[in-house]
Structure 1
């Protein structure tokens, strides 16, 4: 599946409507972003079941701010709308493949239970 560009208007829907979503926050002037782009594209071709999205932080400053982006590239991984991975820096292809495998292998019932526990604990404070 080719990568898609997402905006402030489409971010939430993209993350919530797709099972697994990887989001690459990048900018045209960023050297490491340009080095990571072909790796991201190549890996996306191997995983048609994963949505690979890109956010241009220059054009979409609002979403970059809301996401707390402080360095680029930054990669986020979501599954069932839950943020599971958030890391600045380009990943080599092998590590990106490992990340996708880890996200696919997660027991989401267990993850959702832990999120619910954390939310309950936060409300109790």
Structure 2
């Protein structure tokens, strides 16, 4: 199950080690709401990847740092290094992104 990150410090800690994917979302975003159960399901399919969520309205400085201009956006990190970013609510695109981590 994805873990919601609520502070910049926690974001930095979570992305500093291992493989992870971040779902940048907002509560008011309908496509974000539609992809949420898919994202949760993928977290069970990829147990070696940590799944996180970041609300762009609460952590706008993190969203700005990673140039999140539209949501949903999915960003992958490997051992602290930014790997790739995809925008939009597409399960296939998220799965393709996850294959770069495994």
Q: Give the counterpart of 2:98 among 94, 97, 100.
A: 100
Name the CA distance, whole Å, in 2 between partners of 1:26 and 1:95.
16
1:66 CA drift (Å): 1.8
Query: What do the CA deviations read for 1:22-52 (whole angstroms, capped 9, x no partner)?
Result: 0000000101101111110000012221100
Query: What do the CA deviations read for 1:70-103 (whole angstroms, capped 9, x no partner)?
Result: 11111101111111111221122x4322321232
Unpaired runs of at least 5, structure 2: none
Name the CA distance, whole Å, in 2 between partners of 1:86 and 1:33.
15
Unpaired runs of at least 5, structure 1: 105-125
TM-score (norm 1): 0.74
Q: How many residues align?
A: 101
In terms of fraction of residues, the more strand-rich structure is 2
